[in-house]
Chain A
Amino acid sequence: MRIRLLSYADVERMVQHTQTLEQEDSLLLCTVMEPLLVADSVLKGRARLDWPTFRDAWQTVIGSRQLYVAPLDADCLNRALFERSDTYVVTGLWSEVEAQNLPPDRIVRRLILRSSEQIWWGDELYAEMEAWYEEELNG
């Protein structure tokens, strides 16, 4: 089955328009950053939704779709935080996460989506995410 990566804008649109959610042939995947950042904008009054509406809408979204929300957890940190040699010896931090000039949400997305034999969604989603947010960063 095809996997479609959801951006922040996709998740925001879905919670704002739960009445018109379209059927999808794809399995949907987003990192946990997407709903968290939408929640953050709701809490800070930057979104058109109030908190109870967002909370209910999010439940509707995850209840009605084949949507996997990829977490940042200990397995993810073990898998993605470090560079390792061929013999699995840690040789340093992964260079893509030691990046103080980037916002923390970008680092979390990188950790979650980093390509690895242990993930089931393949290599393309990382590159797709990077392209989106690089474009956003450069305005």
Chain B
Amino acid sequence: MADLVLDVGALADLLAQCFQAGDWTKPRAQTTHFLTSEDTRRINRIVWGDGRYVVVASAVAFAELARKWDEIVAGRFQPYQLAAFLQDPPDWFVVEPVDEDLIPLFGEVPIVQKLEWPDIIHAATVLSREEGNLVTSDRDLRQAMELLKGN
């Protein structure tokens, strides 16, 4: 087990499920385009677990969610729901800051292909956790994480 860091697509899919369930304190994650069955199994173990591990999203994932709201959210939830979630997130969820502590970790991420800086932040956020895994469908980001694990 480890903390799970979500990229923006995975974050949007999980938030949509939380809001559709009505009670986001104990959602039951289900497989979607951006969440594989393995991802949902790990999320549910964290949500329903003993609190040792958390689901994490970088603050930059929320900025990206807002920037591409129509494309990513696609009417699945409303800004007031997101605001309520951010104001009072559940115990199993953490918003990780983008701050100067992240800069040294930024340099540890292997640069592959078209990895853009928001992707590097997701990877650096994994490194900021004592134990962490990334949930992403981005091929370059997955490759970078595999290289990191190999080091």
- Interface 0/1 of A68-93, CB less than 8 Å to B: 01011110111001100000011111
Q: At the interface, yes or no: A113 with Cβ under 8 Å from chain B?
A: no
Size of chain B's interface in residues, with CB distance under 8 A? Answer: 35
**Residue in contact with A36 in the complex, picked from B62, B70, B95, B98, CB distance below 8 Å:** B98
Q: Let me know if B99 and A82 touch, CB within 8 A.
A: no
The answer to whether A71 and B98 touch (CB under 8 A), given A36-B117, A92-B79, is: yes
Q: Let me know if A35 and B60 touch, CB within 8 A.
A: no
Q: Which residues of A contact B95 (CB under 8 A)?
A: 73-74, 77
How many angstroms from the CA of A91 to the CA of B80 in the assembled complex?
7
Q: Let me know if B63 and A69 touch, CB within 8 A.
A: no
Q: Which of B94-133 contact A (CB under 8 A)?
A: 95, 97-100, 102-104, 106-107, 109, 111, 117-118, 120-121
Q: Which residues of A contact B109 (CB under 8 A)?
A: 43
The answer to whether A72 and B79 touch (CB under 8 A), given A35-B100, A78-B86, A97-B67, is: no
- Chain A residues with CB under 8 Å of chain B are 32, 35-37, 39-40, 42-44, 51, 54-55, 58, 62, 69, 71-74, 76-78, 81-82, 89-94, 97-100, 102, 104-105, 107-108, 111
